[in-house]
Amino acid sequence: MTTKIETLAPHHLEAVKNLLAAVRLPEVGREDAPSLDFVVAVSEGIVVGCAGVEVHADQGLLRSVAVHPSHRGHGIGDTLVLDRVHWARARGLAALHAVTLIPSYFERLGFVRTRRSDAPAELLSTPTFQGLCPDTATLLVVSLEGSGPSLVSAVREKYGSYARRAGANVAESVSASTSCCGEAPSCSSSVTTGNYDAAAVGELPEGVVSSSLGCGSPTLLAALSPGETVLDLGSGAGLDLLLASREVGSLGKVYGLDMTGEMLELARRNIRKAGATNVELLEGQMESIPLPDEAVDVVLSNCVINLSTDKRKVLREIHRVLRPGGRVAVSDIVVFGRLPEKVRRNAELWAGCVAGALDTREYRALLGGAGFTDIVVEPTRFHDTDTDTGTETGQIASASVQARKPVAGCC
């Protein structure tokens, strides 16, 4: 069963009204429209779930989270709630609140109980707090602080600085002290080491491997075939680009997308050294991939998606540019359980791939919500963490992420 998350459209309204009535939730009134961002879960053309967020200043309030009884037990509710959490974070809201009679469900998704009297003033005058929900309902909240443009700038500067240093022929000394997780002691340098065997990279230009900031080997995971078209998101210095270009051969094509000019220049030099003629570099962000619909067969990425502040949008963009039947082969950092908010608010840790990492369950839910099937998120290596970050040993791991865009009419 394939379920996609779609923005509410006029033709969904009657189905949403019937769904809310079926689960005995209040109908969303027209007065909510100016401040309510609503999505629906659609399976085989039928609305089977819905959820919305009311926006009041910088505070969000979950509304009308519902899944049809016939479709429960498939993770649709999780997908809807986590979709709204990531939308609210990308919107720059400070927190997202839920008022519910089943608090344990939302706690499982990272919300924390709080007293209703502690609700922000912006929410106290809403219908939810003025009688729409009973006094016996519990208030929960998840903090969203630490997202937004400042984090994008931090990531850009971090990786631009690395590229400048690597380009100055100090890649070996840089890689000895730096990993994908940055120079802070939050993640050991083992993240970037041992991801490729010597035979796989033996013919690449000197310095390409030592300039890599990856946490796995997505080209090996993808099992590429001659003639395929590949997109590498966050292509960096070009390690996976060059490996992929060899695998797809002269009849294939490899695009490399990076938002950091210095990294793109470093990659150009490495591509020239390697003599690769089937590679094209693109400058831009993975939240808005500069390629047309259904342009590629495979999307690779190595320890980059965790850096995005809007992963929902990234995964939807990946789905858009993939051809039907196309596949995702990603290496990324994941977490088990939720990181403390002081970690997620830290831009340096975000630029170093710790604070922005998804929980494995979130990753699966967002992939499913973007329309992917055959989803696998499998840890490949656990990393020790430092007590200064507020995490515990074994909570952070490298993982392989695989998924497929279904063929129309299939699955």
Q: Give per-residue pLDDT as tens, 279-294.
A: 999 999 898 999 999 9
Residue 398 CA, chain-centre distance (Å), reads: 14
Q: What is the CATH number of the domain that holds 90?
A: 3.40.630.30
> Residue 48: inside a domain, yes or no?
yes
The answer on 336 and 234 residing in a single domain is yes
d(CA 310, CA 224): 28
> Residue 66: inside a domain, yes or no?
yes
Count of the separate structural domains present in the chain:
2
d(CA 150, CA 346): 10
The answer on 237 and 117 residing in a single domain is no
Stretch 103-118: mean pLDDT: 86
Q: Is 183 helix (H, G, I), strand (E, B) or coil?
A: coil
Q: What is the CATH number of the domain that holds 257?
A: 3.40.50.150
**pLDDT > 70? residue 204:** yes
The answer on 63 and 179 residing in a single domain is no
The answer on 294 and 180 residing in a single domain is yes
Stretch 40-62: mean pLDDT: 92
In tens, the pLDDT along 130-161 reads 777 777 889 999 888 654 444 455 555 555 55
pTM: 0.63
> Residue 55: inside a domain, yes or no?
yes
In tens, the pLDDT along 343-358 reads 555 444 444 555 577 8
CB 335 within 8 A of CB 253: no
The answer on 242 and 109 residing in a single domain is no
> Residue 153: inside a domain, yes or no?
yes
Q: Over pLDDT 90: what percentage of the chain?
A: 38
Stretch 112-119: mean pLDDT: 87
The answer on 270 and 218 residing in a single domain is yes
Stretch 186-194: mean pLDDT: 46
Instruction: Examine the fold and report which residue of 113, 143, 173 is the final residue of a domain before the chain moves on.
Output: 143
> Residue 409: inside a domain, yes or no?
no
The answer on 212 and 194 residing in a single domain is yes
Q: What are phi and psi of 216, to 5 degrees?
A: -175, -160
- Closest by Cα among 408, 309, 409, 354 to 185: 354
Query: Which residues on adjacent β-strands are paired with residue 279?
Result: 254
Stretch 376-382: mean pLDDT: 88
The answer on 172 and 316 residing in a single domain is yes
CB 409 within 8 A of CB 43: no
CB 264 within 8 A of CB 281: yes
The answer on 164 and 211 residing in a single domain is yes
Q: What is the pLDDT of residue 134?
A: 76
Torsion angle, CA of 111/113/119/120, rounded to 10 degrees? -30
The answer on 187 and 129 residing in a single domain is no
Q: What is the pLDDT of residue 317?
A: 96
Binning pLDDT at 50, 70 and 90, where does residue 53 land? very high
Instruction: Examine the fold and report which residue of 110, 143, 176 is the final residue of a domain before the chain moves on.
Output: 143
The answer on 236 and 210 residing in a single domain is yes
Domain holding 217, by residue range, is 149-404
**pLDDT > 90? residue 109:** no
Nearest 5 degrees, angle CA 297-CA 302-CA 307?
A: 110
> Residue 259: inside a domain, yes or no?
yes
> Residue 410: inside a domain, yes or no?
no
Residue 273 CA, chain-centre distance (Å), reads: 33
Both tokens of 312, joined, read 């929902």
> Residue 411: inside a domain, yes or no?
no
Across 119-123, 172-176, 300-304, 347-351, which has the greatest mean pLDDT? 300-304
The answer on 261 and 128 residing in a single domain is no
d(CA 169, CA 272): 16
Instruction: Examine the fold and report which residue of 121, 143, 165 is the final residue of a domain before the chain moves on.
Output: 143
Q: What is the pLDDT of residue 186?
A: 36
